[in-house]
Amino acid sequence: MVTLFEKTNGEKTSGLSRRDLLKTGSVGALLVISGSAVICPQAAWALEAKALKPETMATLIKLARDIYPHDQLADRFYAIAVKGQDDLAAKDAAHKKLVEEGIADLDKRSGPGGYSGLGWEDQRVAILRDIEKTPFFQAVRGDLVVSLYNQKELWPIFGYEGESFSKGGYIHRGFDDLEWL
């Protein structure tokens, strides 16, 4: 496993002991990086990375949540949304380089624990404001707006009923039901 934990003497160790998993799992959702996958044991989902590093995918999930924050959405929806970045990186070496270098830059700006290691959302958002005009940020944000909100499973959460053409359109399905107009 690739996750890092710090021992009491400050030494970093790779691996995840049962005790560490239980301690960390009780605090919040834990994304475990194993081989080429990002795994969330608490919510029983996993995401396999084909082209990007699993660490990059885990950071992209955190980044996606910070760009489009919705407390009521589980991380799996963000994982589905960023999967497109991995698919595109598998087809386009330039995009893979853009994403990997963008995440490396985020981690460098964030300090020793990297972007995912920053505990406060305000700290992460401040870093995002610094890079919001970069091609990396614009590429990820632009893809997320479609890949996150186009998941039909999420539509009821946001109160969207979907397209109406197949159901006769809006004119005869409540378009004129607004009584306050």
Task: Report yes or no on 137 lying in a domain.
Answer: yes
Task: Specify if 155 maps to a domain.
Answer: no
- Model pLDDT, residue 74: 92
Q: Give residue 162's pLDDT.
A: 80
Write down the pLDDT at residue 175.
62
Q: Write the pLDDT tens digit of every residue in 78-99.
A: 999 999 999 999 999 999 999 9
Residue 157 belongs to some domain of the structure: no
- pLDDT interval class at 22 (50, 70, 90): very low
How far is the C-alpha of 46 from the C-alpha of 49, rounded, in Å?
10
So what's the pLDDT on residue 48? 85
Domain carrying residue 37 = 19-150
Contacts 24+ apart (CB under 8 A), 155-163: 157/70, 157/72, 157/73
- pLDDT given at position 168: 76
DSSP 54-68: HHHHHHHHHHHHHHS
Residue 35 included in any domain:
yes
User: Is position 63 within any domain?
Assistant: yes
Q: Report if residue 124 sits inside a domain.
A: yes
Q: Looking at the domain assignment, is residue 48 inside a domain?
A: yes
Integer Cα distance of 178 and 87 in angstroms: 43
Instruction: Return the DSSP state at 51.
Output: S
Q: What is the pLDDT of residue 105?
A: 97
Note the pTM of the prediction, 2 decimals.
Answer: 0.72
Is 181 a member of any domain?
no
pLDDT at 67: 96
For residues 46 and 12, the model is more confident at 46
Q: How many domains does the chain have?
A: 1
pLDDT in tens, 27-62: 345 677 766 667 777 655 678 889 999 999 999 999
Check residue 86 and give its pLDDT: 94
